[in-house]
Chain A
Amino acid sequence: MDKQKITGSDALLKTLIAEGVETIFGYPGGQIMPFYDRLYDYQKEIKHVLVRHEQGATHAAQGYARVSGKVGVCVVTSGPGATNTITGIADAMMDSTPIVVISGQVPAPMLGTDAFQEIDVIGITQPITKWAYQIRKPEEIVWAVSRAFYIASTGRPGPVMLDFAKNAQIGLVDYTYQKVTTVRSYQPFPTIEPGHIAAAAELINSAKRPFALVGQGVILSGAEKELFAFLEKGDIPAGSTALGLSAMPSDYRLNKGLLGMHGNIGPNRKTNECDVLIAIGMRFDDRVTGNLQTYAKQAKIIHFDIDLSEIGKNVPVDIPVAGDAKETLAAVTERLIAADHSAWINSFAAHEEEEMEKVIQKEAYPEEGALRMGEVVGKVSVAVDHDAVLVTDVGQNQMMGIRYFNYRRTRSVVTSGGLGTMGFGLPAAIGAKFGAPARTVCLFTGDGGLQMTLQELGTIMQEKIDLKMVVLNNAFLGMVRQWQELFFHERYSSTVMENPDFAAIAGAYGIKSRTVDKREELDDAIAEMLHHDGAYLLVVNVETHGMVYPMVPAGGTITDMIMDEK
């Protein structure tokens, strides 16, 4: 049979389509132009979103992946196009987000000559990717691209970089799609040890005060139902990491809230009171554990994880349960004896009351003084009936966002956890809206973070993206200011922000906007934002000296939380 040869760019596009890609985020340039030229003929199959900066493309791909569970894709040019993706790739690596980044590269014969816009992308990205590969020949395209999707999306997900030499984009090749389903040297799903399953079940059955820590692994594995069955049968209360939020609905009786530095009092204190600590798809980050020397020393620890290198990395584990949480949770649940831990579960209530009185009441329901960040987040959550996608930037807006927003469905939180990338929010929200077009997407950002990727308002304008954006404007780099107040003798070094008129900026992009200073106007402004058909930027000028409480100082014991003393 005579086969028509096609260009490498066509082969890439056809492979992307075969891998189920519908949306890509990108920015053209010299060494990726042959691809963009061919893309022009695939506009029906693939939606290309033109961002305003390549960092935005990566965060958008992350937001897309996080809400949809699919692989996010971005395409950029060589040199600065590629280096601008580094922050997003590193963020995706830390937060286990499946993305494939395709960068143009100078033609293979010119590699190593310091050609215009040539950079060693593979060398730069190897430490921050699951896999990085340079495509030098059109014959490698189908294999490399399909392999990239397989690696990015299986096991513990993560970013893959494909460096795509220009000659491979132009060269002709016979195209036959063949899906990669195995890689000899890569075992994404570790073998489940029946002995460990049995030991874990036995230990949980013997527990008087079991406590579960829910991480993003539950969401990535699609194990929400298995988690529910596990917690129900064992009658086990659970706390959640920032990235694990929305794996359980906020109002679920066994959901005891957020863990860690700005988490809820109950789950943090109970970590050091429980007799069996069950970590599921989380990695004992220092923002969750505080001082490891005083962390859960009284407890036997069971760790469910798909990544063997995480087990025992930070916290010594008594029973490791390696494998995909969907399978391991189900297997352990089968061996559980239905338990009743109601006294233990009820003991969380005192902590909840204490937190309500010392922190939440003042933050979320103030009656006087300047507007508070928690108050704004809480009101938006109520107004969307606790059923929107929350996207945050990084800093106080992020901690307030995840503390006061509520969830009904899984995959409802998009935030930069491990890397803590300011500027993440706005582009990630763009990606989230493409990933979940039927859902309301609410962004909470700060005046600092917004200005790091502000240019993406242009993307929102051009693509007419219906985003509900809330700027919690305290005219400070608030989280750094908070640390300066608490730990640096109130020396506010370089944290005061003289800000532009954000509403005027939104106006210049044709985005509807409103600025609110007074409590009386807030409800009306939120309603206006949510009822507006299209993008809306709500600027809320909040208390400039607002603080996020409770707080466990970095390296402190997880039970020693600072409360709002004012």
Chain B
Amino acid sequence: MNGKTLYTVIIFSENTVGLLNQITIIFTRRQLNIETLSVSPSAIKGIHKFTITTFADKDTIDKVVKQIDKRVDILKAYYNTDEDLVYQEIALYKVSTELFMKMNGVEELIRKYNTRVLEMNESCIVLEKSGHYEETQELFDELSHSIGVLQFIRSGRIAITKSKVERLSDMLSAMEKRLDIKPEER
């Protein structure tokens, strides 16, 4: 991606309607493509967590994250590169039962990729694998070449930072402190 780095943007927000739109329009203005996106409730009730990956240069991602952080309904936004994160994706693979049964080395394959079988019926088998993009892709490539993949889906990245505390808890306690002192008394 011509000198661009893959950044993981982590956003904590209120759970309100239309928030995703508020975030994506900021990416759009800077012509940034969202590579992966994952949204789910966070550890704190009522607060949602967005994990977004995008290729960008440092200057651009810095400005984009500041713009996101500034939105009224966003509690906190920050960005990291892969070195700072533990991250994971999950992938599901649907293959033909008939071909899978005939395939040599099923046990080897399942062990090698640490794969699980989620569903098995007369027509198809669903395998699951979690890992980094390259790992889920490797299994996809191997299955494609041997027996073919009927359906494939990969989730967006989820990530946590390697540092000890989740920054949000620090921020929330600071915020609650602040709420006692009315900020607009002037």
Contacts and interface: CB of A to CB of B under 8 A. Distances in A.
Contact of A183 (B18, B66, B70, B72): B72
Contacts of B107: none
6 shortest A-B CB distances, which residue pairs?
A309-B66, A185-B75, A186-B72, A131-B72, A127-B25, A309-B70
A18 interface: no
B76 to A, nearest CB: 8
Interface residues of A, number: 27
Contact of B73 (A127, A185, A189, A313): A185
Interface in A110-136: 122-123, 126-127, 130-132, 134
Among A126, A150, A187: residue with most chain B CB under 10 A? A187
Contacts of B182: 181-182
Interface residues on B, range: 20 to 34
Among A123, A131, A150, A182: residue with most chain B CB under 10 A? A182
B66 A151 contact: no
B179 interface: yes
B114 to A, nearest CB: 39
A123 B72 contact: no
Contacts of B73: 131, 185-186
Contact of A307 (B14, B70, B74, B186): B70
B22 interface: yes
A419 interface: no
A326 B179 CA distance: 21
A182 B18 contact: no
Nearest to A313: B63
Contacts of B69: 308-309
Contact of A185 (B14, B21, B62, B67): B14
A326 B75 contact: no
A151 B70 contact: no
B13 A188 contact: no
A455 to B, nearest CB: 32
Interface string A182-203: 1111111100000000000000
Contacts, number: 58
Nearest to A130: B72
B184 interface: yes
20 contacts: A126-B18, A126-B22, A131-B73, A134-B17, A151-B72, A154-B183, A181-B182, A181-B184, A182-B178, A182-B182, A182-B183, A183-B72, A185-B72, A185-B74, A186-B72, A187-B175, A188-B184, A189-B184, A308-B66, A308-B70
Given A182-B179, A185-B75, A324 B70 contact: no
Given A126-B22, A126-B25, 6 more contacts: A131-B72, A183-B72, A185-B75, A189-B183, A189-B184, A324-B186
Contacts of A132: 18
Interface of B: 13-14, 17-18, 21-22, 25, 29, 62-63, 66-67, 69-70, 72-75, 175, 178-179, 182-184, 186
A154 B182 CA distance: 12
A31 B17 CA distance: 22
B179 to A, nearest CB: 5
Contacts of B29: 127
A126 B184 contact: no
A187 B74 CA distance: 10
Contacts of B62: 312
B23 to A, nearest CB: 10
A302 to B, nearest CB: 19
A154 B184 contact: yes
Contacts of B13: 185
Contacts of A186: 72-73
Contacts of A181: 182, 184
A187 B63 CA distance: 18
Interface in A299-343: 307-309, 312-313, 324, 326
B184 A150 contact: yes
A188 B63 contact: no
B25 to A, nearest CB: 5
A80 B125 CA distance: 54
A150 B74 CA distance: 16
Contacts of A189: 183-184
A283 to B, nearest CB: 13
Contacts of A150: 184
Contacts of B179: 182, 184
B21 A123 contact: yes
